[in-house]
Structure 1
Amino acid sequence: MNIHTVSIICPVFNEEKYIEACIVSILEQDYPKEAMEVLFIDGNSTDNSTGIIKRYTAQYSFLKLLNNPERIVPYALNKGLKAAKGEVIMRLDAHCTYPTNYISELVRYLYQLNADNVGGVWNTQPAKDTPICQAIAFASSHPFGVGGSMHKIGASKIMETDTVPFGCYKREIFDKTGLFDTDLVRNQDDEFNGRLLNLGGKIYLIPQVIINYTARDTLCKMRKMYYQYGLYKPLVNKKLGAPATVRQFFPILFLLGLTIGGVVCMIWPLLLHFYTSVLLLYLFIGIVVGSMGAIRAHQPLLALLMPYVFFNIHMSYGIGYLVGIFNVLGKKTAQVKPSR
């Protein structure tokens, strides 16, 4: 395999719990260290994230720490791109750990497939060994929770796709696409990959490359994350000129059906039976999926928790999407502080 120089860009904000495991997984990579540089871009963390990173940068010269006073991810990515020297640009997330062949496999497939971007799949893990954390992780990786997003639910073969987590890019593609859009606190990868596809680029999902992703540890954090995903999706659609996928519309349709349907049933009680049937079907699917998860995890509470967690995901995304539509119509750009 030809050895290409690789610049890894890892945005960081308050990742004290996870950053050390992330760094260790980078140090254990089988890719030649002399062909790597790792740029941690910190958004003014208020915890000990930078202290942990500095401990490692003092030992390893290819690890570097840069500052991102604007704090949000797209600014961090752009700062990293401007500082990067590699032929390959790879984005990593501090919330994850990576298999030892992560870099070597993605770089190999990037050139073997003549791709512009390649990425692996998530193995979504609970943040803690508690029923609610298990439910959050399971819901975040199930089709009923996140639709047909293949990097979240898994795939059986290498496939072309619309987006991948984080991304491994050929450096020269940024000359065509430009940088990441700083209007987007969330979904900046989706918008960038949409631009790449519109220019004729190729994106491939490599399912044998598995990223250990740690899900949010509370319902509040999960709701905020999915709200932000929904909030910025209409802006992404506007910038790209069209929606990238159909699956993004289901949560807002469910939200509108739930609220408008409830009002309509007050006016025409005959529709109440249909309205109730849909809600019972939703509950039934949630319980069935939860029961399957309960059997797999040997955790009976999942059967009861899963419908509630699914509901939180769909409502949070749907409400965010609705607010995002109003922001786009009002020509506003929502800005949300980074959070973990």
Structure 2
Amino acid sequence: MSTARRTVSVIAPCRNEQGHIVDFCRALTAQHLPEGMALEVLIADGRSDDGTRELLDDWCRRDDRFVRVDNPGRIVSTGLNRCLAQARGEVIVRMDIHTRYASDYIAQCLAALQRSGADNVGGPWVAQPATPEGWPAAIAAAFQSRWVAGGARSRDRAYEGEVDTVYLGCWPRASFQRYGGFDEQLVRNQDDEHNLRIRAAGGKVWQSGRIRSVYQSRSTPGQLARQWRQYGYWKPFVMRKHGQAASWRHLAPGVFVGLQGLLLLASTVSDHALAGFLTLTLLYLLAVLATALLVAREAGWRLLPRLPVVIGLYHLAYGAGSLQGWADVLRGREPDPAFGRLTR
């Protein structure tokens, strides 16, 4: 009888994660893999200087399933590609240091691949606050709302079916041979771009609610604004590459912020422009308030005072970032290095 085992490779980028790296490694050792599957873990460290490398090296010495991969590029896309170059598995699972996973996370990824025949599978993007009260709780609650996210399926914990993108991802090795690796010009949105590339070539991206994980969302309004401004900034570079948006919802915040800016500028010489600016502002505030009431009804009324601020930040920071991105794209400029910095 053959005793050969198949390998699944986990790839994960990290930089300066001293407080999280050991817990992440420990959680991976608790994964329940299907019979006959072996685990390989490649963690790309972006030249950490806070002790992460030393902790990771110590773990790798004690468990030879773990390998530290050097990532001189220091960004997610270069780290993922470095891991892909060394991965031996027939299936590749991307994981994130700040996310917590169900013990059958990898097993459910493998099952979804087999069930769907997709080129990439993943679970819903579920936010968990650092603390159950205050700003962290409001940020996480708003994040989970499909109304805030423009109807994105990624917030639906139960959805099973095709989507435009998924959180993290799990690919047959053949997907990378067919569609290539991650775009190293992108500091953010490299996941969305890769999924858009798959779908543009006729491939399938699949989400399954059985793939369970929770992501630790940002904890302050400032962190949230910086994060979503970055997401917005990098989206035009993805659109320039493919000549299309992955979804209309990626365009809406930038269009709204841009239109309001034009109306405000024109209001200095036109009463009609001022009326338009005030009308759109009022309609948006009413929409934000209605959304805040819907979110608070599900997540708790104690969050209501903070929710309008949080919802506005999600949209306006993303929209402002998009406009900055489009300004650089249309002028043919290279991406601004300031948008490559970590936002935690």
Q: Secondary structure at the match of 2:239?
A: helix
CA contact (8 A) 2:258 2:323 kept: no
Distance 2:166 2:266 in 1: 40
Distance 1:285 1:18 in 2: 38
- Which piece of structure 1 moves more, 108-117 or 272-281? 272-281
Residue 181 of structure 1: CA displacement? 0.8
Q: Which residue of 2 aligns with 1:283?
A: 285
Q: Which residue of 1 aligns with 2:71?
A: 68
Residue 214 of structure 1: CA displacement? 0.4
What code does the residue aligned with 1:256 have? G
CA contact (8 A) 1:115 1:203 kept: yes
CA contact (8 A) 1:14 1:47 kept: yes
Distance 1:212 1:156 in 2: 14
CA contact (8 A) 2:153 2:159 kept: no
Distance 1:34 1:203 in 2: 23
Q: Secondary structure at the match of 1:23?
A: helix
Distance 1:200 1:253 in 2: 29
Q: Secondary structure at the match of 1:173?
A: helix
Distance 2:16 2:198 in 1: 30
Q: Structure 2 residue aligned with 1:58, among 56, 61, 67?
A: 61
Identity of aligned residues (%): 33
Distance 2:195 2:300 in 1: 39
- Which piece of structure 1 moves more, 25-34 or 235-244? 25-34
- Which piece of structure 1 moves more, 311-320 or 280-289? 280-289
CA contact (8 A) 1:109 1:118 kept: yes
Q: Structure 2 residue aligned with 1:78, among 77, 81, 89?
A: 81
Structure 1 segments unaligned to the other structure (5+ residues): none
- Which piece of structure 1 moves more, 50-59 or 104-113? 50-59
What code does the residue aligned with 1:218 have? T
Q: Which residue of 2 aligns with 1:10?
A: 12
Residue 212 of structure 1: CA displacement? 0.6
Distance 1:198 1:4 in 2: 30
Q: Structure 2 residue aligned with 1:131, among 112, 131, 134?
A: 134
Cα deviation digits, residues 255-312 of structure 1 (max 9, x gap): 0232222233443335545543432332233333334444544452x22211111222
TM-score, scaled to structure 2: 0.90
- Name the Cα RMSD after superposition: 2.2
Distance 2:28 2:78 in 1: 23
Q: Are residue 109 (structure 1) and residue 109 (structure 2) matched? A: no
Q: 1:52 to 1:181 in 2, by over 3 A?
A: same
Q: Which residue of 2 aligns with 1:207?
A: 209
Alignment of 1:66-215 (within 5 A): 66-151=69-154, 153-215=155-217
Q: Secondary structure at the match of 1:304?
A: coil
What code does the residue aligned with 2:153 have? M
Q: 1:241 to 1:298 in 2, by over 3 A?
A: closer
Cα deviation digits, residues 122-156 of structure 1 (max 9, x gap): 220112334111121122222233222211x2153
Q: Which residue of 2 aligns with 1:238?
A: 240
- Aligned residues, how many? 337
- Which piece of structure 1 moves more, 158-167 or 270-279? 270-279
CA contact (8 A) 2:126 2:157 kept: no
Distance 2:232 2:239 in 1: 11
- Which piece of structure 1 moves more, 11-20 or 174-183? 11-20
Distance 2:21 2:148 in 1: 27
Q: Secondary structure at the match of 2:49?
A: coil
Distance 1:129 1:47 in 2: 28
Q: Are residue 251 (structure 1) and residue 253 (structure 2) matched? A: yes
Cα deviation digits, residues 148-179 of structure 1 (max 9, x gap): 2211x215331111111111001012122122
Q: Secondary structure at the match of 2:213?
A: strand
What code does the residue aligned with 2:77 have? P
Structure 2 segments unaligned to the other structure (5+ residues): none
The structure 1 segments of at least 4 consecutive aligned residues displaced by more than 6 Å after TM superposition are none
Distance 2:264 2:30 in 1: 55
Distance 1:297 1:209 in 2: 22
Distance 1:332 1:181 in 2: 17
CA contact (8 A) 1:8 1:36 kept: yes
Alignment of 1:293-332 (within 5 A): 293-298=295-300, 300=302, 302-332=303-333
Distance 2:200 2:95 in 1: 24
Cα deviation digits, residues 234-266 of structure 1 (max 9, x gap): 111111121111001111122023222223344
